[in-house]
C-alpha cells in the first residue's frame, strides 16, 4: 500500500505528507527535501505574508521539480472581549518584566484584513499553479474551492471529528486530513466542541473511513513505519507527519524546540490554550503552567496569539525554552535527528519489513 | 500474528481479551462465550464481594473448560475531605429530589476494609486456580505477586503511560495492558498526572513497545479487525476490548446503556469525574454536564462513586439514561449488536482479509 490512489493523485512515491507547520518550520530546504525523497513537502503558510509565500514558492521550485503543496489558515470571525484582552495583556506584562523584556503594545489582528490576505494567498497559489493546497481551521468558500479545482489544484481539508470530515467531503474537498488527539500544534477543529474533538486516531480513522469516500490522511503521533502501517490498517490512505519532520535537520524550528522534543516523554506533552487562545499540543513548560488556571479567560485566537508574540520571540532570542511554544505530538520518544530523506527512507524500510512480518 | 507468544502463554486461540468491565457487565455468560469462542473472557471483579466472585467463578467453570481471568482493583489510600463530601452530597440531594428519588445516606467506603476485601479476592483467585489475574489502579504488593506466580497464575498490569508500563514490567508483571486515551470507563492511571495520562494509542503503543520486553496488550477504541491489526503493527501482541463486548447480547450492561452507545457518535463520548471522582470516559448526558464545573471540587474516588450510587441505581430503575454512567470508548460508531462469538468471528475474518490486502 505504499503506492495507492492517493499517491497517484498527488503524484508522489510514498503516502507521506510533511505537515504544513507554520511559524518558520517548513523552510524551502525541508519542503524540497521531502518532495525530492518521494513524500509531499508542504509550506505552512499560515503566518506568512503574500510576498513571503511567493518568494518561498520560487525558492522551492528552484530546489525540486517534484510536486509540493501549500497550506492556508481559513480566517474565522472572533469575539473581541476588551476585558479579557486587558486582563491577559496585564498578566503577560508581569511575565515580560519578570523575564526582562521590554513591553511593546502588540498590534492586534483584524478579521477583515485577515480575509483579504487569505484571498491574496489563494491568488498566489493559483498564479503559481501549486498542484496541492490544504486548509486548516475551516473550509474555504465555494468560490475559492471552484477556482482552485478549475486550476487543477487538489484541495485537502482538515477535520478533527467524523462530522467535520463529512463536511469536508460534502464541500467537494479531494481528500481530508483527520487530526487525532495525538497531534502536535494547533487543533484544526472548526465545527465541533473543543473537548469533544480530542479523538484518538485508533478511533477517528476507522469511524471516518466508514463514513467517507474521499481519501483519508491520518495525522497525530505518527513517526515511523509502524504508524504508517497502522494508519493504513485503520482505513487511511496516507499519513501527515509533523513532529517527525520538525526535528529534521532541514527544519527551521529553533534548536531549543528540537531539543525539547528529543528530550521529552509522552506524558510531558500537553494541550494548552496559553499561547494563542486556541487548543494546541506542545511540551509542557513554565508559561503553560502559569496560564493554566486562566485558560478559559483568555482572549480568542488569534488575539492571544498576537499578545504572546513578544514573549515567545524574546524567549527564543534569550534561549529560554520555558516561554517558547514547543509544539509536539504525543510521540516525542520516537523523534530522531535525521535528514528528511533519511527519515523517509527509514519509514519505507520499516514499512516493508512490517509487511513481511504480517504476511 | 493471530497466534503469538501472548496467545500461547494465555492458552487462547486469538489475541482478543474481553475487558474486565466492572458493575455487572461481565456476566458468566459473556465471560464463558468469549473464552469458548477463542478469546479470553475476564471477570470484572472490581465491585464484587468475595462471595459473588467465588460464585461467578464456579458458574463460569460450568460453562467453559477454556482459560478465563479475573481483574481486581488495587485499593489506594484516598483523602477524606469532609467539606467536599458535604458539598457533593448536598448537590446530589438536589438532583435526587428533582428526579424524585428518596435520599438515602450513602455508606462510605473504608480503605482498611477495601484492603481486606482485596486480600480475600486474591485468596479466591489462588484457591480457584484462576490462570490469569489482571490488576487496575496500581500494582499489587510483592507478596501478592509472588503468591500468584507461585500458583502459576499469569499476572497482567494496567498502564496509561510508558512510565507506568515500565513500573509494571519492573514489578515482574507478565504482560501489561496499555490503556489509550480512547478507552471507555475508568482511567487506570496510578502514577502519572491525570491530564498527562491521556495518550492516544497511536503514540502510546510504539513508545511503550520500545521500552518494554513483556507483551503489550492495547486497550482503547479497538472494535474490529482494523484495530487489532493496527495495534499489532504498532507493537502490541494483543488487544483488550471493552465497548465492543459491552454491547454484545451476553453482556449484563443495561439495555439503555447499550442503546446509548449504539446511537452515539465519537464526539459525544467525554471524559468525566462526575460519577466517581476519578476520570472515566462515557457518553455525555445531563449528569455529566451538571457536574462539569465542580469536577475539581468533588471528593476523591471511591468516595464520589459511593455518593452517586443511589442516583445511578434509581436512574436505571426509572429508565432515565441522563443520570446513568454510560461508559464507552471513543469508537461508538463501530459498535454492533452481536453475540460474543459473532463478534470474535467477525474480527478474525476482517483481520485475515486485511492481511491479504497488505501482503
- Judged by CB atoms closer than 8 Å, whether chains meet at B221 and A235 is answered as no
Chain A residues with CB-CB distance to B222 below 8 A = 202
CB B167 within 8 A of CB B204: no
- State which residue of chain B sits closest to A218, comparing Cα positions: B202
What average pLDDT is seen over chain A?
A: 96
How far is Cα A339 from Cα A39, in angstroms, rounded to an integer? 13
Interface with B, mutate which of A2, A202, A296, A353 (most B CBs under 10 A)? A202
Of the candidate ranges A36-45, A100-109, A219-228, B296-305, the one whose mean pLDDT is the lowest: A100-109
List CB contacts (< 8 A) between B334 and chain A: 206-207, 210
Mean per-residue pLDDT over chain B, rounded: 96
Confidence of residue A298 (pLDDT cuts 50, 70, 90): very high
pLDDT at A264: 98
Tell me how far apart the alpha carbons of residues B136 and B185 are, in angstroms, rounded to a whole number. 12
B101 pLDDT higher than 90 = no
- Residues of chain B positioned with their CB less than 8 A from the CB of A193: 267
* Res. A106 pLDDT band, cuts 50 70 90: confident
The C-alpha atoms of residue B64 and residue B54 are separated, in whole angstroms, by: 16
- Chain A contacts of B331, Cβ < 8 Å? 202-203, 206-207
Kindly indicate the confidence band of residue A296, based on its pLDDT and cuts at 50, 70 and 90.
confident
> What CA–CA distance (Å, rounded) separates A154 from A173?
8
Chain B CA closest to residue A220: B202
**Residues A210-214: what's their mean pLDDT?**
98
B271 touches chain A (CB under 8 A): yes
Q: How far apart are the first and last CA of chain A?
A: 13
Nearest Cα residue in chain B from A356: B359
For residues B211 and B174, give the distance between their C-alpha atoms in angstroms, rounded to a whole number. 15
* pLDDT at residue B259, rounded to an integer: 98
Region B202-209: what's the mean pLDDT?
Answer: 98
Query: B296 pLDDT band (50/70/90 cuts)?
Result: confident
pLDDT tens column, B263-295 = 999 999 999 999 999 999 999 999 999 999 888
Asked if pLDDT for residue A238 goes beyond 80, the answer is yes
| pLDDT of A359 strictly over 80 | no
Percent of chain B with pLDDT over 90: 94
Report whether the peptide linkage leading into residue A302 is cis, meaning its omega lies within 30 degrees of zero: yes
* pLDDT tens, residue by residue, B219-254: 999 999 999 999 999 999 999 999 999 999 999 999
Per-residue HEC secondary structure of chain B comes to CCCCHHHHHHCCCCCEEECCCCCCCCCHHHHHHHHHCCCEEEEECCCCCHHHHHHHHHHHHHHCCCCEEEEEECCCCCCCCHHHHHHHHHHHHHHHHHCCCCCCCCCCCCHHHHHHHHHHHHHHHHHCCCCEEEEECCCCCHHHHHHHHHCCCEEEEEECCHHHHHHHHHCCCCEEEEECCCCCEECCCCCCCCHHHCCCHHHHHHHHHHHCCCCEEEECCCCCHHHHHHHHHHCCCEEEECHHHHCCCCCCCCHHHHHHHHHCCHHHEEEECCCCCCCEEEECCHHHHHHHHHHHHCCCCCHHHHHCHHHHHHHHHCCCHHHCCCECCCCHHHCCCCCHHHHHHHHHHHHHHHHHHHC
pLDDT band per the 50, 70, 90 thresholds, residue B357 = confident
Distance from CA of A277 to the nearest CA of B (A): 19
- Predicted pLDDT at B271: 97
Q: Identify the pLDDT of residue B359.
A: 72
CB-CB neighbors (< 8 A) of B270 in chain A: 195-196
- Going by pLDDT thresholds of 50, 70 and 90, the confidence category of residue A114 is very high
Give the per-residue pLDDT at B102. Answer: 82
Region A317-321 average pLDDT: 95
**pLDDT given at position A104:** 76
Q: How far apart are CA A280 and CA B123, in angstroms?
A: 48
In this prediction, what percent of chain A has a pLDDT beyond 70? 100
pLDDT in tens, A75-94: 999 999 999 999 999 999 99
Query: Do A330 and B204 lie within an 8 Å CB cutoff?
Result: yes
What domains can you pick out in chain B, each with its CATH number? 5-358 (3.20.20.70)
Report residue A350's pLDDT band, with 50, 70 and 90 as the boundaries: very high
- CA-CA distance, B284 to B300, in Å (whole number)? 21
Best probe of the A interface among B5, B195, B200, by most A CBs < 10 A, is B200
Looking at this predicted complex, what is its ipTM? 0.97
Is it the case that residue B51 has pLDDT exceeding 80? yes
What number of C-beta contacts closer than 8 Å exist between A and B?
177
Q: Which of residues 182-241 of B touch A (CB under 8 A)?
A: 182, 192-193, 195-204, 206-207, 210-211, 218, 220-224, 226-227, 229-235
Q: pLDDT of B62-78, one tens digit each?
A: 999 999 999 999 999 99
Render pLDDT for B137-193 as a digit per residue (tens, 0 to 9): 999 999 999 999 999 999 999 999 999 999 999 999 999 999 999 999 999 999 999
User: Does residue B83 come out as left (phi exceeding 0), alpha (psi in the -120 to 50 range) or beta?
Assistant: alpha
User: pLDDT tens for residues A126-174?
Assistant: 999 999 999 999 999 999 999 999 999 999 999 999 999 999 999 999 9
Amino acid at each position: 500500500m505504499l503506492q495507492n490512489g492517493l499517491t497517484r493523485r498527488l503524484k508522489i512515491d510514498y503516502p507521506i505528507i510533511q505537515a504544513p507547520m507554520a511559524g518558520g518550520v517548513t523552510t524551502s530546504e525541508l519542503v524540497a527535501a521531502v518532495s525530492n525523497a518521494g513524500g509531499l513537502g508542504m509550506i505552512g503558510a499560515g503566518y506568512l505574508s503574500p510576498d513571503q509565500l511567493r518568494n518561498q514558492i520560487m525558492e522551492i521550485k528552484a530546489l525540486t521539480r517534484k510536486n509540493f503543496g501549500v497550506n492556508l489558515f481559513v480566517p474565522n470571525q472572533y469575539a473581541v472581549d476588551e476585558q479579557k484582552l486587558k486582563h491577559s495583556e496585564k498578566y503577560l506584562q508581569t511575565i515580560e518584566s519578570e523575564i526582562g523584556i521590554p513591553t511593546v503594545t502588540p498590534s492586534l489582528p483584524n478579521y477583515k484584513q485577515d480575509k483579504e490576505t487569505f484571498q491574496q494567498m489563494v491568488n498566489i497559489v493559483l498564479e503559481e499553479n501549486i498542484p496541492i493546497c490544504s486548509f486548516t481551521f475551516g473550509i474555504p468558500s465555494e468560490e475559492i474551492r471552484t477556482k482552485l479545482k478549475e486550476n487543477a489544484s487538489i484541495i485537502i481539508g482538515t477535520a478533527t471529528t467524523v462530522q467535520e470530515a463529512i463536511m469536508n467531503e460534502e464541500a467537494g474537498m479531494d481528500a481530508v486530513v483527520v487530526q487525532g488527539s495525538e497531534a502536535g500544534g494547533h487543533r484544526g477543529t472548526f465545527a465541533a466542541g473543543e473537548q469533544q474533538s480530542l479523538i484518538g486516531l485508533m478511533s477517528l480513522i476507522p469511524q471516518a473511513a466508514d463514513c467517507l469516500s474521499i481519501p483519508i490522511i491520518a495525522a497525530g503521533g505518527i513517526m515511523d513505519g509502524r504508524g504508517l502501517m497502522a494508519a493504513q490498517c485503520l482505513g487511511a490512505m496516507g499519513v501527515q507527519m509533523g513532529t517527525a519532520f520538525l526535528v529534521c535537520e532541514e527544519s527551521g524550528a529553533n534548536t531549543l524546540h528540537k531539543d525539547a522534543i528529543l528530550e521529552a516523554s509522552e506524558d510531558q506533552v500537553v494541550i494548552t490554550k496559553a499561547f494563542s487562545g486556541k487548543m494546541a499540543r506542545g511540551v509542557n513548560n513554565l508559561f503553560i503552567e502559569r496560564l493554566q488556571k486562566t485558560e478559559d479567560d483568555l482572549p480568542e485566537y488569534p488575539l492571544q496569539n498576537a499578545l504572546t508574540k513578544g514573549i515567545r520571540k524574546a524567549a527564543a532570542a534569550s534561549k529560554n525554552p520555558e516561554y517558547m511554544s514547543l509544539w509536539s505530538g504525543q510521540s516525542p520518544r520516537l523523534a530522531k535527528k535525521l535528514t528528511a530523506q533519511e527519515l523517509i527512507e527509514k519509514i519505507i524500510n520499516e514499512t516493508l519489513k512490517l509487511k513481511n512480518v504480517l504476511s
